[in-house]
Structure 1
Amino acid sequence: MRASSLCLFLLLFVFSPFSAAGADGARLERIARAGEIRIGLTGDYRPFSALDEKAGEFSGLDVDLGRSLAGALGVRPVFVATSWPTLSADLEADKFDIAMGGISVTEARSKIGLFSEPVLSDGKTPITACANVARFQTLEQIDRKGVRLVVNPGGTNEKFARAHIHAATIVMHPDNVTIFQEIVAGRADLMITDAIETRLQAKLHPQLCAVHPDAPFDRAEKAYFMPRDAALKARVDGWLEGLRASGELKRRIGAWVE
């Protein structure tokens, strides 16, 4: 091979997307050097994560699991606030090393980063005033003029609503923490969100009932979202498998959901 051809080959290899495998482990090395793993959380999606803005502290299932992951890596956890509209952009901007907090696996996100093995499987289902449960059993019943469906922006709830709701009114509400109060107050008729969230919010708001949470409209896997570093993914997957095999993952999920 001539010298000019060899140089061209090397340049193509270095800048080719397939050479990314050469960077595997770089993220893990940086985490080890820093002595911390930065974990992105939206802080507005119970039971996965909730942010107490006054105290500046996160709590929830994935806060507990984030601490467990950090312990497995021998570093300390640092929780970083993100949001559903900016989640992917924040990952690309290197604002955190991994995103947790009830993230659904989607094609768009998979083009940007890697997902861990699934933590759990869930699906979209309605939550409404208990008196209205019979009214909103199907998408056909929901997608009618006069029905007000409240939605938080930027995530899979909005994506689902835009794909399936055309006649009903979609009411955007920017705060996923207070969004259920819109139904309680009568400013919205229902919300469609993940079944795990409807179960918890029905407990927090006795006026509200989850509509067939055991038979949601669709199914999606929830997993942890991270940069394209296969070595980091392998460590996260190994940690998850250990929790699952020991029964610890099921126990932790049950502690926050049941």
Structure 2
Amino acid sequence: MKNKGLFFTIFISLMLLLAACGTSDTEQNTQEDTDQNSQQADDNETASTHWNEIEEAGEIVVGTSGTLYPASFYPEESEELTGYDIEIIKEVANRLGLEIKYETMAVDGMLASLNNGRVDLVINDMEITEERKKQFSFSDPYKYSYTTMIVRAEDHSGIETLEDLDGKKAGGGATTVFSQIAEHYGAEVVTYGNATNDTYLRDVDNGRTDTVINDYYLQSLALKAFPEFDIVLHPDLKFHPTEQAIVMPLESNVLNEKINETLAEMREDGTLTELSEQFFGGKDASKQPEEDIVEIEGLDL
């Protein structure tokens, strides 16, 4: 009888222990679910709040350079911004019933201005990259392109392959993807502030730099705008396909959804094609290029 009593006591103790453990696990899981739901609710509230603030103000603050022809620039003797990117965001804002306030700045400060709340979005031929997607929200692409380089006409600045960039000087912004490409191949990046295209191109022409690595469409139009410089697009180097999009703070889901819906309408009704052909010499940058473009191996963007 004593053994039976001892067994019964141990059995009851084990049951109580297991019940206690089960209760603890359940409480922990419940708390984790509560925390997760609370965080999700906070994220949803933040996403809605940003859009609600913009909608209530009736105005969206746009960061751009104003010096990137033909994406974002001031025509000669004009104080009104225009360009492919600018006309796109004007149309988006118009369809959403919003006015635009522009904040012009150097490209190096654009993403920081999103983080500190100075602007609601950035549009400036900004490339989508995996690293940027960890920190910011991107719209669907409004432009598809690839990368080229401007070199001196007489000798291509001594560059016949990407590997020949080693030891060369490349003009560009400090934080751009194009500067990362130059550095990847061993070039020295000569940085500028919010400089206009003629500054970059003149420096290749006079030998201060050897090349400017940038977007194909932008480079093509820049060359036509400054025929006095003895420079050309490199005839053999087409690399790093790109997608450009509007950039927003990471939590701006509602704003992103509304912009994507509007861009889809503009793509469907031909507005994107019409604007592209207007600014890119009849070419449709809103569609993916058919050229054979070289992917760069080992470049972490």
> TM-score under structure 1 normalisation?
0.85
Q: What pairs up with 1:188-227 in 2 under 5 angstroms?
A: 188-206=209-227, 207-212=230-235, 216-227=238-249
1:257 aligns with 2:280: yes
Distance, in Å, in 2 between the alignment partners of 1:232 and 1:59 is: 23
Q: Taking every aligned residue pair, what percent have the same amino acid on both sides?
A: 21
Q: Does 1:235 align with 2:254?
A: no
Residue of structure 1 in register with 2:191 after alignment? 172
Residue 77 (structure 1) aligned to one of 100, 110, 113? 100
**Deviation (angstroms), 1:7:** 10
The whole-number CA distance in structure 1 between the counterparts of 2:146 and 2:154 is 23
* Equivalent runs, 1:1-258 vs 2, <5 Å: 12-13=35-36, 16=39, 19-51=42-74, 57-133=80-156, 135-143=158-166, 145=167, 147-164=168-185, 166=186, 168-177=187-196, 178-206=199-227, 207-212=230-235, 216-227=238-249, 228-258=251-281
Matching residue's letter, 2:244: K
8 Å CA contact retained: 2:138, 2:248 = yes
Deviates more, 1:20-29 or 1:244-253: 20-29
Computed over aligned residues only, the root mean square deviation of the Cα atoms, in angstroms, reads: 2.9
Q: Distance in 1 between matches of 2:208 and 2:220?
A: 21
Comparing 56-65 and 129-138, the one that deviates more: 129-138
Secondary structure at the aligned position of 2:101 is classed as strand
Q: Aligned equivalents of 2:67 and 2:211: distance in 1?
A: 18
User: What secondary structure does 1:102 align onto?
Assistant: coil
CA distance in 2 between partners of 1:138 and 1:18 (Å):
52
Counterparts of 2:226 and 2:200, CA distance in 1: 12
More strand per residue: 1 or 2?
1
Unaligned runs of 5+ in 2: 1-22, 282-301
Superposition deviation, residue 57 in structure 1: 4.1
Rounded to whole Å, the distance in 2 between the matches of 1:107 and 1:82 is 24
Instruction: Give me the TM-score of the superposition, normalised by structure 2.
Output: 0.74
Q: How much does 1:225 deviate?
A: 0.3
1:12-48 CA distances to partner (integer Å, 9 max, x unpaired)? Answer: 3476367413433322211111011111112232211
How much does 1:69 deviate? 1.1
The structural deviation recorded for 1:139 is 0.6
Q: Which amino acid aligns with 1:47?
A: P
Alpha-carbon contact 2:170-2:189 (below 8 Å) kept: yes
SS in 2 for 1:131: coil
Contact preservation (8 Å) 2:111, 2:122: no
Which residues of structure 1 form unaligned runs of 5+?
none
Matches of 2:100 and 2:192, distance apart in 1: 31
